[in-house]
Amino acid sequence: MHVSPESLKSAAAEKLAELKEIDLKPKDRVDIPVQEMPTQDPLERSRNMSEVAIGYYAEQAQLEAMRCLQCKNAPCIAGCPVGIRIPDFLKAAAEGDFDKAVEIIRENSLLPAVCGRVCPQETQCQRSCTLGKILKDVNKSVAIGRVERYVADLQREQGHQGVPEVKPPTGKKVAVIGSGPASITVAADVRREGHEVTMFEAFHKLGGVLLYGIPEFRLPKAIVKKEIDTLVEMGVEMKTNFVVGRTRKIKDLLEQDGFDAAFIGTGAGLPKFMNIPGENLVGVFSANEYLTRSNLMKAYDVKRAHTPMYVSKKVAVLGGGNVAMDAARTAVRLGADEVHLVYRRTEKEMPARVEEVVHAREEGVIFHMLENASKILGGENDCVTQMECLRYELGESDDSGRRRPVAIEGSEFLMDVDTVIIAIGNGSNPLISQTTDGLEINRWGNIVVDEATGKSSLDGIYAGGDIVLGAATVILAMGEGRRCAAAINAEFA
């Protein structure tokens, strides 16, 4: 049930006042209720693109941080891919010192306002949290991400998010290819050491998936822009509409354009398809195209859009990850009468974050588990009219540890739809590997790098993020960027 933001705020204020009177023992901390995230009402938000989560109030952030038991062994730190000093930042927040809290986070993470929103904390830091273990529910762990988000937002809103200091020029030049979280991290860390940095981005706007993939209602674009603006203020040069491998090859940059090193952070932007009949019909989209039109080219804003958006009444989204949830929830906001999410396993195996699944349901997305499309059918003008589907059951576990979906023979049925969005994963774009002789890739097309340094098979060329890991997460991309930047800086030291 949706709880109004005002009542969450007043309940937190009351509890905080009560706790300020006592010397808190661990038992008292365990008893503090989890602070729910205030959100827009589901009916209202399914008609707008504004952020779903409103963010904690100060009282809630402080109270949530007070739930931390300050464990000596701090298992939460081991669960964080970039090793943030979680108990220390929570201690500062519990004392109401939000500035100190965010500074502690920034020692290890460059993008706390982003990570506080999109990191899968329930499978990382919060999964290891002692409090969650005591209460036997990962959803009752300290809400580390929500406190992180609060302190980062406060710092930005108060204009306290400064520009990192840049050391005097060294004369070295680094090309950073792509502008997603891996590249943003490399650009900042390398520029800080005084090296010249130029960022090359294929699209006309910077930010990678943070901009064109994750929708505004989960990650406001103003937050991404602020991070890009900070890089510009640090002196990073930006070149958009620049497709490395077409406009210039990497070797041109290194051998003719004066760059001493290059970082490849080109992500995993190549959509996978189902390879079923009917995928070329009008009304079939990859989630990538659908989300890019809506996010990057603002197709939802009909009057100012840079591209039209397909008008749909009955949409089927195929897949069960975050991308599928984003596509389904975008289709709801674009005015579809019905949005059906079709997934061939059960909800338990769905890779999407639990929060996204809950939000999608609240917004009216209809879930079809253990079903999948086997054919897409068209009518007049080759437009989609129906989808033939099969029912599935779960068999033995596969290599991923998840039970394998097995189609039930003779279970075919038809679903009336006019739009099909395919969200079954992304691979890496082969352009750079195909235009860079000697760059080693693996059988999935990901660049092979040295684990400790991120160095590729070619001297002076580093790579990190999804182009190395396959479609992964923002925090892992940032972690990879950190490692590569440290190796580049060491090479020039």
Please, what is the minimum distance in Å from the beta carbon of residue 126 to ligand SF4?
Answer: 8
Interface stretch with ligand FAD, choices 23-31, 48-56, 318-326, 385-393 (CB under 6 A): 318-326
Question: Nearest approach, Cβ of 477 to ligand FAD (angstroms)?
Answer: 4
* 377 touches ligand FAD by CB under 6 A: no
**Residue found under tokens 């929500």:** 146
Residue 417 contacts ligand SF4 per CB under 6 A: no
Q: For ligand FAD, which residue of 465, 482, 488, 489 counts as binding (CB under 6 A)?
A: 465
Contact positions with ligand SF4 (CB under 6 A) in 13-72: 68-71
Q: Choose the one of ligand SF4, ligand FAD, none that binds residue 131, judging by a C-beta under 5 to 8 angstroms depending on kind.
A: ligand SF4
Q: What track of x and - describes contact with ligand FAD for positions 105 through 134 (by CB under 6 A)?
A: -------------xx---------------
User: Which pair of structure tokens corresponds to residue 447?
Assistant: 């660049």
Asked if residue 105 binds ligand SF4 (CB under 6 A), the reply is no
Q: Label residue 4 exposed, middle or buried (CB < 10 Å: 0-12, 13-18, 19+).
A: exposed
The reply to whether 74 sits near ligand SF4 by the rule CB under 6 A is yes
- Report whether 386 contacts 368 (CB < 8 A): no
In the bound complex, what is the minimum distance in angstroms from residue 214's beta carbon to ligand FAD?
5
Nearer to ligand FAD, 71 or 243 (CB): 243
Q: Length of the chain, please?
A: 493
Given a contact cutoff of 8 angstroms between Cβ atoms, the answer to whether 211 and 223 are in contact is: no
Contact 352, 365 (CB under 8 A): no
Residues in the interface with ligand FAD (CB under 6 A) total 39
| Shortest distance in whole angstroms from residue 83 CB to ligand SF4 | 12
The answer to whether residues 200 and 238 touch, using CB atoms and an 8 Å cutoff, is: no
Number of chain residues interacting with ligand SF4 (CB under 6 A): 15
- Among ligand FAD, ligand SF4, none, the one that 214 touches (CB under a kind-dependent 5 to 8 A) is ligand FAD
Three-state secondary structure readout of the chain: CCCCHHHHHHHHHHHHHHHHCCCCCHHHHHHCCCCCCCECCHHHHCCCCCCCECCCCHHHHHHHHHCCCCCCCCHHHHHCCCCCCHHHHHHHHHCCCHHHHHHHHHCCCCCHHHHHHHCCHHHCHHHCCHHHHHCCCHHHCCCHHHHHHHHHHHHHHCCCCCCCCCCCCCCCEEEEECCCHHHHHHHHHHHHCCCEEEEECCCCCCCCHHHHCCCCCCCCHHHHHHHHHHHHHCCCEEECCCCECCCECHHHHHHCCCCCEEEECCCCCEECCCCCCCCCCECEEEHHHHHHHHHCCCCCCCCCCCCCCCCCCEEEEECCCHHHHHHHHHHHHCCCCEEEEEECCCHHHCCCCHHHHHHHHHCCCEEEECEEEEEEEECHHHEEEEEEEEEEEEEEECCCCCEEEEECCCCCEEEECCEEEECCCEECCCHHHHCCCCCCECCCCCECCCCCCCECCCCCEEECCHHHHCCCCHHHHHHHHHHHHHHHHHHHC
Interface with ligand FAD includes 290 (CB under 6 A)?
no
Looking at 17-25, 200-208, 364-372, 397-405, which segment touches ligand FAD (CB under 6 A)?
200-208
Give the per-residue contact string, 404-443, with ligand FAD (x = CB under 6 A; - = no).
-------------------------x-xx-----------
**Binding test (CB under 6 A) with ligand SF4, winner from 86, 231, 299, 441:** 86
Residue ranges in 141-180 that form contacts with ligand SF4 under rule CB under 6 A: 142, 144
Say whether residue 129 binds ligand SF4 (CB under 6 A).
yes
* Minimum separation from the CB atom of position 417 to ligand FAD (A): 21
- Please tell me whether residue 244 binds ligand FAD under the rule CB under 6 A: yes
Q: Which stretch binds ligand FAD (CB under 6 A): 140-148, 198-206, 222-230, 249-257?
A: 198-206
406: phi then psi, degrees, rounded to nearest 5: -120, 125
| Nearer to ligand FAD among residue 32 and residue 477 (C-beta) | 477
Q: Which of 5, 38, 55, 87 binds ligand SF4 (CB under 6 A)?
A: 87
> Is residue 130 part of the contact set for ligand SF4 (CB under 6 A)?
yes
CA distance 201 to 253: 14
Nearer to ligand FAD, 128 or 185 (CB): 185
Q: CB of 22: closest distance to ligand SF4 in angstroms?
A: 19
Interaction between residue 357 and ligand SF4 (CB under 6 A):
no
Per-residue binding string, ligand FAD, 53-92, x by CB under 6 A, is ----------------------------------------
Contacting positions for ligand FAD (CB under 6 A): 118-119, 177-183, 200-203, 208-209, 213-214, 243-245, 265-267, 269, 291, 322-323, 326, 429, 431-432, 465-467, 472-475, 477
Contacting positions for ligand SF4 (CB under 6 A): 68-71, 74-76, 86-87, 90, 129-131, 142, 144
